[in-house]
Amino acid sequence: MISERAVVDGRFELLEPLGSGGMGTVWRAYDLALHREVALKEVRAETDGAGSPGVHRERVLREARALARIGHPNVVAIHHIVDSSEVAHPWIVMELVRGQSLADHLMGGPMQPSQVAHLGRGILAALRAAHQVGVLHRDIKPANVLLREDGSPVLTDFGIAALNDMTGLTSTGSVVGSLDYVAPERLSGQEGHTASDLWSLGLLLYFAVEGFHPMRRESTVATLAAVIRGEVPPPQRAGVLTAVLTALLVPDPDRRPSAEQVDLMLAQAVGFAGAPTVFDVPGGGSGAAASGGLGAGSGPGAFGGSGAGNGPGVFGGVGAGTDPGAFGGQGAG
């Protein structure tokens, strides 16, 4: 256990832990060289027999490489990586996003279609930037989207991203990501489709505007069956977003529109509805929140706590949902 006020790499003073998951711990830290607060992701060696510390290290490095490739205002920024013989494991140094997660925001109820359309354009912009440099996110969900104080979305947690020039880190037959947001084709072993991220985006937008997840069931097996069928009930509250959701949420990835077409449809929905450029983020002015989710509802900071507006936090969790998180933790909610 690392004590508070410890300094990593002679530069990053650990201020407080913000949350922990199967992958490790996220800390709020102070950069002694640049005099600013940052987020540090600390890897943790696996102890449950599901993998090895080496695999965890590669996932940390993969996340850093994925983030470094993208460089977009709607994607969380990476500042530095600490990986030397002087530290037991690598650390990723990232921006500390001040706001709250979309998952926490939606605990207050569904959003208006115009707001969701504007939100969707921001997340889609992040995905387009990632796809252009050969990065698939593979875990799009509300817990992995942070809302800055001005309401703009920031896509986080690229720890299970697929890079087109890197081999996979999971065993044959396994699927990474939150089950109820995974595209049907991925469950049949079809990986590498940018359309799979668009399916997950469609489900995120559906949940945001309808107030419930169309694939979530009482058990993992029932959820799995629903995802495989890919049968999404027609939205009832979506209004100007109905056409977008209908186009995205089709089981055949080849029938989904391109990212460019989706952006045009979302832009039309924003314009038609006269959507504001930002929306209120409760608690956003007093701290930073986190994505990831291990027990939403009880604490400040990272991993889905309901106190995200009252204390700073970051991202990097295992995610809200019905399935085990991508990094080995059980999702909540």
Q: Which domain holds residue 208?
A: 99-273
DSSP string, 200-214: HHHHHHHHHHHSS-T
Tens-digit pLDDT profile for residues 32-74: 999 999 988 887 655 444 445 555 677 777 778 878 889 899 9
111 shares its domain with 93:
no
14 shares its domain with 153:
no
CATH number at residue 121: 1.10.510.10
111 shares its domain with 47:
no
Domain boundary among 223, 244, 273: 273
64 shares its domain with 106:
no
Tens-digit pLDDT profile for residues 16-35: 887 666 566 878 899 999 99
204 shares its domain with 247:
yes
What local confidence, expressed as pLDDT, does residue 333 receive? 33
193 pLDDT more than 80 = yes
Domain boundary among 230, 254, 273: 273
Is residue 84 assigned to a domain?
Answer: yes
Catalytic pick from 139, 157, 180, 323?
139
Is residue 86 assigned to a domain?
Answer: yes
Q: How many CB atoms lie within 10 A of CB 228?
A: 14
- Of all residues in the chain, the percent with pLDDT exceeding 70 is 69
Query: Is 139 tagged catalytic?
Result: yes
**Total of domains in the chain:** 2
| DSSP letter (8 states) at residue 330 | B
82/294: higher pLDDT: 82
Computed from CA positions of residues 222, 227, 229, 232, in that sequence, does the dihedral angle turn out positive or negative? Answer: positive
106 shares its domain with 219:
yes
294 pLDDT more than 50 = no
What local confidence, expressed as pLDDT, does residue 54 receive? 54
Query: Taking the complete model, does pTM exceed 0.85, yes or no?
Result: no
19 shares its domain with 38:
yes
134 shares its domain with 74:
no
Domain boundary among 76, 97, 118: 97
Tens-digit pLDDT profile for residues 68-104: 889 899 998 889 888 877 777 788 898 998 878 899 9
Which two three-digit tokens encode residue 214?
A: 């169309």
Whole-number Å distance between alpha carbons of 316 and 143: 10
Q: Which residues contact 153 (CB under 8 A, 6 or more apart)?
A: 74, 102, 119, 122, 123, 126, 145, 146, 147
190 shares its domain with 77:
no
59 shares its domain with 131:
no
172 pLDDT more than 60 = no
Average pLDDT over residues 135-144: 90
Tens-digit pLDDT profile for residues 109-122: 999 999 999 999 99
57 shares its domain with 186:
no
Q: Are 119 and 206 in contact (CB under 8 A)?
A: no
CATH number at residue 76: 3.30.200.20
Across the strands, what pairs with 162? 136
Q: Which residues contact 258 (CB under 8 A, 6 or more apart)?
A: none
Helices (H) and strands (E) in the chain, counts: 8, 11
Bridging pattern class, strands 153-155 and 145-148: antiparallel
Average pLDDT over residues 149-159: 87
120 shares its domain with 130:
yes
169/6: higher pLDDT: 6
Mean pLDDT of the chain: 76
